[in-house]
A and B are shown apart, each in its own frame.
Chain A
Amino acid sequence: MKTNFMATSYKKLILNGIFSENPVFRLALSLCPAVAVTTSVKNGFLMGVAVLFVMTMVNITVSLFRNLINPKVRIPAYILIIATYVSITEMMMRAYSRTAYKQMGLYIQLIVVFAIIISRAELFASRNKVLPSAADGLGMGLGFLGALVLVGAVRELIGNGSIAGFHITHGSPLLIMVLPTGGFFAIGLLMGLFNWIDQKYYGGRPGGGGGGGHH
């Protein structure tokens, strides 16, 4: 299913990843990191940036080599490409951003197995030209980044009484929100809110104009 992107605007591709096919709130993919690292805005942001980088680069690389990779081994090939970019990210963080690495080193390595990355490589980048693939990776990455920051903000505000490190209340209002349980609460409630807004104002069905096939 090759699509001609000459007519379609790149803006639409990017917006698709941020809203109508948001990885966390819409596709419900890669929820593990969305629960695990989003105890604060800062952590969510750092994780989001790492994923944004890996995703865009993987989409570009897969698209570039899409005609050279044998379809029979495409999955191991994609995993290798993803693992390479993740390792580069991890090594860079370890050397140049040590405090961030200490907080989330383990989760950075886990990016290798994020379903959202390999699913975009398989569903989009392997079938499209470089620029649309880059736009898709950028859009999906931004959607993921935005979702993580949003979840992080909710959890940090309610669980720790601060926003992006600035304390608003004294002590923690509702400690559970920064515990793993709170991650599930926050994502579930935000997902519900997304669907509610969508149904109320757009009469849309969950999944929007989604391409299907990623469940």
Chain B
Amino acid sequence: MDTEKNPQGGARVFRASAGPHIRSGESVPHIMWTVSAALLPAAGLSVYYFGPRAFLILIISIASSAAFEALAQKLMGAKITVSDGSAILTGLLLGMNLPASAPFYLPVIGSAVAILITKQLFGGLGYNIFNPALIGRAFLMASFPRFMTAWPVPQGSLSLARPDAVTGATPLGILKEEGYRKLLSHFASRHDMYVQLLLGHRGGAMGETGVIALLFGAAYLLYKGYITWHIPVTFIATVAVLTAVFGGDPWLAMLSGGLVLGAFFMATDYVTVPQLKRAQIAFGLGCGIITALIRLEGGYPEGVCYAILLMNCFTPLLDRAFRPRKFGEVA
């Protein structure tokens, strides 16, 4: 069977979903650059907490993503579209998913997997099944578990050296290994814990900790209408409800791990999530259930990344299942 050539270099289209479509004047580059900008407060906060090393990792991640995108498009003889910002956004998200203590080659390998394998081998922007940044993270997690499970605690230091001495566990890690009581003992009070989590003063991937900055960026995107509430709100609410039902702390569940970053910035990626509102609610629900299951019962302390990736597989199915029927059509 001959395979058809993908329309590389042709018009960039998002995966077409069932209509009717709302037309808007927004172009792909505009959206990509705006989403990247919305992530900047959180990225800035991570640089403040984890030092210049965090900044370097973000820059390396972005630069290598852009370079791999250009390389792949050049090799395939397609038009080079780095300036549409999508590779930049992938690089930024990937960098924000890494620990600040990661060696500098980690973001480069992650970008290669994200851009070359996950995105370009599947046909480029609009054709990838999985979120490239998350595949990059999952790949690094499986390949370099030692680096990817050592999360530095915010120091606010200005040193470029690897903060390897303090590899405190993430709050979710402590919760899994030692229990809630032990976790609480790290804070002055329960109230103090929530405030610290909101401000991002805790161990974790550098981009996921600054919850308040992430929420700020997310609010802007919601206000501009670039993302809608359907997936993130369902996702986060499902995790909170399930955690509460099984006797956990729902506020802790919402504020910890990569939930806010994942729900607002990665489970809303135009390409890899359903386009219909009802399908999006199902998508968010699925993400929430898988995340809660992994956190409560799984071997890993955190499951947002795997939850979104698993639900990415269901995207075409969900869009088909919730497709509006034509008048008179029999199911």
Q: A residues engaging B (CB < 8 A)?
A: 174-177, 179, 181, 185, 205-207
| CB-based contact A175/B1 at 8 Å | no
Tell me the nearest residue of chain B to A205, going by C-beta. B2
Q: A175-B143, A176-B142, A207-B1 are in contact. List 13 more A-B contacts (CB 8 A).
A: A174-B109, A174-B143, A175-B142, A175-B144, A175-B145, A176-B139, A176-B143, A177-B143, A179-B142, A181-B142, A185-B117, A205-B2, A206-B1
A165 to chain B, nearest CB (A): 21
Question: Within the assembled complex, what's the spacing in Å between the Cα atoms of A177 and B139?
Answer: 10
In order of increasing CB-CB distance, the 3 nearest A-B pairs are A176-B143, A176-B142, A175-B143
Question: Could you show 12 A-B contacts with beta carbons less than 8 Å apart?
Answer: A174-B109, A174-B143, A175-B142, A176-B139, A176-B142, A176-B143, A179-B142, A181-B142, A185-B117, A205-B2, A206-B1, A207-B1
Residues of A within 8 A of B142 (CB): 175-176, 179, 181
B180 to chain A, nearest CB (A): 32
Residues of B within 8 A of A175 (CB): 142-145
Residues of A within 8 A of B144 (CB): 175
Chain B interface mostly helix, strand, loop or mixed? Answer: helix
B24-56 toward A: CB 8 Å interface, digit per residue (1/0)?
000000000000000000000000000000000
B137-153 toward A: CB 8 Å interface, digit per residue (1/0)?
00100111100000000
The total of interchain contacts (Cβ-Cβ below 8 angstroms) comes to 16
Residues of B within 8 A of A176 (CB): 139, 142-143
Question: Within the assembled complex, what's the spacing in Å between the Cα atoms of A127 and B117?
Answer: 43
Tell me the nearest residue of chain B to A182, going by C-beta. B142
Question: Within the assembled complex, what's the spacing in Å between the Cα atoms of A205 and B1?
Answer: 8
Tell me the nearest residue of chain B to A177, going by C-beta. B143
**Would you list which residues of chain B between 110 and 137 have a CB under 8 Å from chain A?**
117
A7 to chain B, nearest CB (A): 31
Most chain B beta-carbon contacts within 10 A, residue among A176, A177, A205, A207 = A176
B309 to chain A, nearest CB (A): 12
B8 to chain A, nearest CB (A): 16
Residues of A within 8 A of B143 (CB): 174-177
Question: Within the assembled complex, what's the spacing in Å between the Cα atoms of A43 and B312?
Answer: 34
Question: Within the assembled complex, what's the spacing in Å between the Cα atoms of A179 and B117?
Answer: 18
Question: Within the assembled complex, what's the spacing in Å between the Cα atoms of A139 and B142?
Answer: 36
B10 to chain A, nearest CB (A): 21
Residues of A within 8 A of B145 (CB): 175
Tell me the nearest residue of chain A to B141, going by C-beta. A176
Residues of A within 8 A of B2 (CB): 205
Residues of A within 8 A of B1 (CB): 206-207
**Would you list which residues of chain B between 195 and 230 have a CB under 8 Å from chain A?**
none
Tell me the nearest residue of chain B to A185, going by C-beta. B117
B83 to chain A, nearest CB (A): 28
Residues of B within 8 A of A181 (CB): 142
Residues of B within 8 A of A185 (CB): 117
Tell me the nearest residue of chain B to A174, going by C-beta. B143
Question: Within the assembled complex, what's the spacing in Å between the Cα atoms of A75 and B1?
Answer: 29
Tell me the nearest residue of chain A to B2, going by C-beta. A205
Question: Within the assembled complex, what's the spacing in Å between the Cα atoms of A176 and B143?
Answer: 4
B150 to chain A, nearest CB (A): 15
Tell me the nearest residue of chain B to A172, going by C-beta. B143
Most chain A beta-carbon contacts within 10 A, residue among B1, B143, B145 = B143
Tell me the nearest residue of chain A to B143, going by C-beta. A176
B271 to chain A, nearest CB (A): 21
Question: Within the assembled complex, what's the spacing in Å between the Cα atoms of A174 and B2?
Answer: 34
Question: Within the assembled complex, what's the spacing in Å between the Cα atoms of A185 and B145?
Answer: 18
Residues of A within 8 A of B139 (CB): 176
Residues of B within 8 A of A206 (CB): 1
B142 to chain A, nearest CB (A): 4
A151 to chain B, nearest CB (A): 17
Most chain B beta-carbon contacts within 10 A, residue among A175, A177, A179, A181 = A175
Question: Within the assembled complex, what's the spacing in Å between the Cα atoms of A181 and B142?
Answer: 9
B132 to chain A, nearest CB (A): 15
